[in-house]
Amino acid sequence: MFDQRTSMPLSSYFAYFTAYRLNVVARFAMAIFGGYALTALSISLMSLLLPVSKVNAVLFSVCLSVLIHCLIFIAVFAIKSLRFLCGGFLLLATLQFMLLLILRG
């Protein structure tokens, strides 16, 4: 059975839009949960690295957390390849986690 407007089989038509919707849902999941994880790692790392008192470092990094999460959310939808995005998230989270382990001793 063909769709009259696009001359594309309906099964291909629905498969295309289903894949598109799954891509958007995956990106939202990456932006929300992955962004939260990267933001938490960034806050922890910044509070250890900033050359001010511990209280000021924590307050400053928590204030920047909104900006960091917002930038991650924008980057998730700006990067075209979902595979590249997942790899980048894993690499960045691993590097930040390793730095935290090294700095905390």
CA nearest 34: which of 1, 80, 77? 77
The H-or-E segment that residue 49 falls in is helix 35-49
Residues 33-83 have pLDDT tens digits of 999 999 999 999 999 999 999 999 999 999 999 999 999 999 999 999 999
Instruction: For residue 15, tell me if it sits in a domain.
Output: yes
Contact 46, 57 (CB under 8 A): yes
Instruction: For residue 3, tell me if it sits in a domain.
Output: no
Instruction: For residue 51, tell me if it sits in a domain.
Output: yes
Instruction: For residue 52, tell me if it sits in a domain.
Output: yes
Total count of domains within the chain: 1
Strand partners, 80: none
CA nearest 48: which of 57, 38, 39? 57
Q: Higher-confidence residue: 16 or 101?
A: 101
What is the pTM assigned to this prediction? 0.80
Contact 2, 8 (CB under 8 A): yes
Structural domain boundaries, residue 40: 10-104
